[in-house]
Structure 1
Amino acid sequence: MKLEGKVGVITGSADGIGKATALRFAKEGAKVVVSDVNEKLGQKVVEQIKESGGEAIFVKTDVTVFEEMEALVEAAVETFGSIDIMFNNAGIGMNKPFLDHGPEDYHKVVNVNQHGVYYGMLAAARKMKELGSKGVIINNASVFGFVGTLGIAGYQAAKGAVVMLTKHGALELAPFGIRVVGVGPAAVNTNIVEGYRQAGLLEYMKKQQMGRELIEPEEIASVVTFLASDEARVMNGSVVMADDGFASFKSDIRP
């Protein structure tokens, strides 16, 4: 029960990494605030947690609207009395060649993947400071915030910004006892890789990781759970790579 007595808020938790993390948080004793734009799937996650004996609520939230992120944090405090963990997980992907990747595509991705993280950090940090909570803010960065690849200009720009927001947030919030860390997945078996699947690039993506398979959402959830726990107290300002070696090697042909 690594998170017993803690209150965790997770954006984009109706599916994928967010859902897996919500279920894992609840299993580890946390009270969970499930948040997503997809209310139907989000409510199902809440029901699953409750059926397993956990506590959870759903708050429909558009992460690109700061006032909605503030309301999300307020709902957590009003329902459970505190906020100890904020996992800024919500994200979208778009695969287009750079010359076809117009400003509207760029801003759509950046608004969710970068601005949504910033809004979540700000809303959570302000409330944690107000409550005197020695909390932790976890940002879902990506291996693509560190290395270049084809077709995802907006995604890479946003994730690179998330890496730096994590470092900056950790520095400014340390005096209040608030940690800020990131997790850096590579190709995870979620809807966000659908573009690669449709483009026939999924097998190529698998070969870019040392295990030559997609990472499962539950594997990332395990890393996030550790980062959220008191066991990770000395981890601050860094992005933990959960990329199955993606950033450590590059070879299309391996024995």
Structure 2
Amino acid sequence: MRADFAIIGGTGVYDAGLLSSVDHLQIDTPFGVSFIDIGEYAGQQVAFLSRHGKGHAVPPHRVNYRANIAALRQLGVKQVLATAAVGSLKEEIAPGELLIVDDFIDMTKSRETTFYEGENGVVHIDMSDPYCGRLRRLIAETADRNGIEVKPGGVYVCTEGPRFETTAEIRMYARLGGDVVGMTSVPEVVLAKEAEMCYATVAIVTNYCTGIADSFLTHQEVADTMRANIEKVRRLFFELIKRGLEERTCRCPHALAELGSL
């Protein structure tokens, strides 16, 4: 089976919703097993991957990001639309808002971040446009056409988790230029670039971060806010998928052009 598009669902997004004729696949990769649903929408074959597994069984630092992206690559996926639950570092980015991520700061500590460990070559992947600019533009245009409010850009600080951040850490991330905080975008975005996929993330702001909010943060708060807003993201993604696979004029299809040359 093959699919051009994939949706990666984060916290609170455990099924794709609008797909028909869905097959449930177990895909073996050199990096482990990945479980993916594949179905049809508007004449397009679409893969859906639940990042944390059914029932949120896998914490962010234990997600097998390499197996997941490798499995999507084996299915022929060219464009990936990802969701993410994030906390806001700024009062002007309020819970319930949607944000198209355009850059990241990596604060993870122990994750496998590349497919290329030397045995199959060495890659120094370019990260000047980590979240595909062409795909981000299409998401913004689709949101505007459908009356869905999104913030057009923001820097995602990726932490190791699974604990939430301290007040001191949140102050530091804000001073470094971060806009939102999450636990899953890295290495997923990096691996997608190595797989020469167009990858974009629409983040759902679920809460103000520690030190900004007056109350203690719980995972239930995050999940509840995701449930209240996920239909907007689903509608945005499926309206984009309905437009079809336009020419990939970005650099993503050529990300490995210099494989092993450095």
Answer yes or no: same fold by TM over 0.5: no
Larger RCO, structures 1/2 (Cα 8 Å, 6+ apart): 2
Where is the helix percentage greater, Structure 1 or Structure 2?
A: 1
TM-score by length of 1: 0.36
Where is the strand percentage greater, Structure 1 or Structure 2?
A: 2
